[in-house]
Structure 1
Amino acid sequence: MVLGAAAGGWVYWKLNDNITSVDINSALGDDRPAKPVVSPSSSSAAPLPGQAMNILVLGSDSRTGAENQRLGGGSEGSARSDTAMVFHIDAGGTSGQVVSIPRDTLVTRPACPLPDGGESPERHGVMFNTAYAVGGPVCAVKTVESFTGVRMDHYLEIDFAGFARLVDAVGGVTVTLDQDIDDDKSHLTLEAGTHTLDGEQALGLARTRYGLPGGSDLARIELQQRLVKALLTRISDTSLLTDPARLYDVAITATASITTDTGLDSLPELVGFAQSLRALEPGAMETVTLPVVRAPSDPNRVVADEPEASELWASLR
């Protein structure tokens, strides 16, 4: 019993200690869209019946560490939000939407608090993914909330290496491709059809752009959405719950691979969050992309297509 308790305590400590977090609420204060009033007894991670939830999920092309550089990073210390998705969970936690934000979308980046105590200046007509590069998760959240008017209840971030490790930990992901892919930049060559991809191949698919017709970021987003559904499907596989060794491996990998807001930075909060979504089937998640049109100022950039974009964000409030 003593050995079992000690082992259990070590596992708890290891998983809890793995989690990295950012205190976004303190950094942004009250200068944010309103959120629904919740009862004092409710968990900050679990939605109440009748209450929806929005989570900003970023895939960062962090250059920190040898593994990230090997998988496609550049100079040490730089990072951008290579992938941005708002996960909207409907009231009751049984369905939702994944809304992708093209990284080339031109937005107004608000003034953001910086880690050194300063503040970045407001900028108009800049690429969305500059927000993360300028002010990290805090500025990314503030920029999304500024141009959507939607409160982000939580924040999750995963980098190149973390995504690849997570895919490997769950045993790979199965995706079906409508066309051949041959992309030297992402180091991926696949024929059309169904494939089970390991972590490095899945990362290559998420980064593929120039192997697609026209090299479009919007085409890449569609592949990323397929990967997200495939990963959610594999994670929800019941065999994970009946294989303690595999479940532990996935838990260790997941907690070591993500950065969260402080509302999800402990094992009990993450577990409560996961349990609140146990009725959510991957097939019940609709994937959409922010409606955009080519920017008048730059044919290589896009801007939100109105009024469709505003209507989409209004449906998430």
Structure 2
Amino acid sequence: MALFDLPLDQLRGYRSTAPEPQDFDSFWAKTLQEARAHRLDAVFEAVETGLSAVRVYDVTFAGFGGHPVKGWLTLPAGASGPLPVVVEFIGYGGGRGLPHTHLLWAATGRAHFVMDTRGQGSGWSPGDTPDPVGSAPAFPGFMTRGVEAPESYYYRRVFTDAVRAVEAARAHPLTDPARTAAVGGSQGGAIAIAVGGLVPDLAAVAPDVPFLCDFPRAVTITDRDPYREIGNYLKSHRGRTAQVLRTLSYFDGVHFAARGRAPALFSTALEDQTCPPSTVFAAFNAWAHDDKTIEVYDFNDHEGGGPFQEAAKVRWLASRL
């Protein structure tokens, strides 16, 4: 796929015009207050994996609505002191998978917490967390579940789970709450951005080719799923465009980025039709903290930097965790 979005010099200055809800902050403050009315109840159960270099815990904690959410916590074997912790969020359709697929961050000497995404994990990576909340008619996928109102939208539950995942990761006695990073790619990158806007004391945030940013532009510039789910929903639910865009505005990474209080390393790919580079730059340029960098991969699609970006994150986090 040839370059299809704005030229790079224009991308570096691109700013989203997506309107921010006036009650954005109060909406999320109330949402998190309601979630915290339930005890976190983070439980860490040691599991036997056959891996001698790490210790792995099967984690359960209370997310949105007090619903049980799963995760993995992986620690370097023999670790005895408070460790910096990397909290990771998974891409669209995937679940937490199996412990041996998450070894990078423990290999750097850090604790690693990966959150299972509710209702997902039946595609490319298995998951174990159901979403007990139903929704009105929606297009297959997750993008339009409950999209009739921000209170019922699917990602309200996911972003709340993610904040609680950070709290669960920090609850383990071998993690250092003051040295916590949020990372993820695609949907996971979007969740990391949301966490960066909702958790004020993170040490670092690293979203790769993030999804769920600059919705008004994203849904019109690409016809690739998952954004296309929104267009397909509106094809059959005519006349609801304004209502849907209003709901999505409460979950737009651009608005969370404007509240980002930690150093950030973004990445984007100029041939990415799934998460177009202008939508990524919209969030990057809105990021509030001055210490921010974006890696640009000129001829890549949604795979972005892949292992090259993983190496970049390892180097970048070395001075921040």
TM-score (norm 1): 0.29
Q: Which has the higher helix share?
A: 1
Larger RCO (alpha carbons 8 Å, 6+ apart):
1
Q: Which has the higher strand share?
A: 1
